[in-house]
Amino acid sequence: MKRTTTAVLAAAMVIAALSACDADGPNAKTPKSAPATAAPTAESTTSGKDATGPKDGAALSPNAEQTPKLMSALKAVNSAFGDNEKWALTASRTICADIRAGQADSDVQEDAKIRFTGNTPGAVPTVTDNQAARIVTAVKSSFCK
């Protein structure tokens, strides 16, 4: 029952995070243009996106330089995680959204276990607590800062 409840809550978080992705919409909290005095950061000039944007729960995506680092870290946890990069990136973005939303570490790790468990190519039948912690660390260290 707890697993089902957690899965439903995780799905709701994904929907909420994805619906908040339109920063240019009428309810946007940030200005459409940066002040003229703002200097570009190393990350914003490298990727064209600021990977350290506002921590409002919106999911970040790894850029072209961060993706190989993330995938390498995920494969170090379990080589099967490298079998479906698109799926692994989607799961990782959702974990990042959980982190940015301020969820407790234990909840983020439990959600990582759920997201990387299954019969989808790239998932595994079971994910241990240690593996879940390593998945979260991989997400944090590669792109979700």
pLDDT digits (tens, 9 = 90+) for 99-134: 999 999 999 999 999 999 999 888 999 999 999 999
The tokens describing 83, both together, are 């079998």
Query: Domain for residue 76, yes or no?
Result: yes
Number of domains in the chain: 1
Q: Can you state the percent helix, strand and coil of the chain, rounding each to 5?
A: 55, 5, 40
Query: Domain for residue 33, yes or no?
Result: no
Query: Domain for residue 41, yes or no?
Result: no
Query: Domain for residue 92, yes or no?
Result: yes
Residue 11 DSSP symbol: H
Kind plus residue range of the DSSP H or E element containing 141: helix 129-142
* Cα 47 to Cα 64: distance, rounded to the nearest angstrom: 7
Q: Does pTM surpass 0.75?
A: no
Query: Domain for residue 42, yes or no?
Result: no
Query: Domain for residue 118, yes or no?
Result: yes
pLDDT digits (tens, 9 = 90+) for 47-101: 334 444 445 555 689 999 999 999 999 999 999 999 999 999 999 999 999 999 9
Query: Domain for residue 34, yes or no?
Result: no
Residue 68 belongs to what domain range? 2-23+54-142
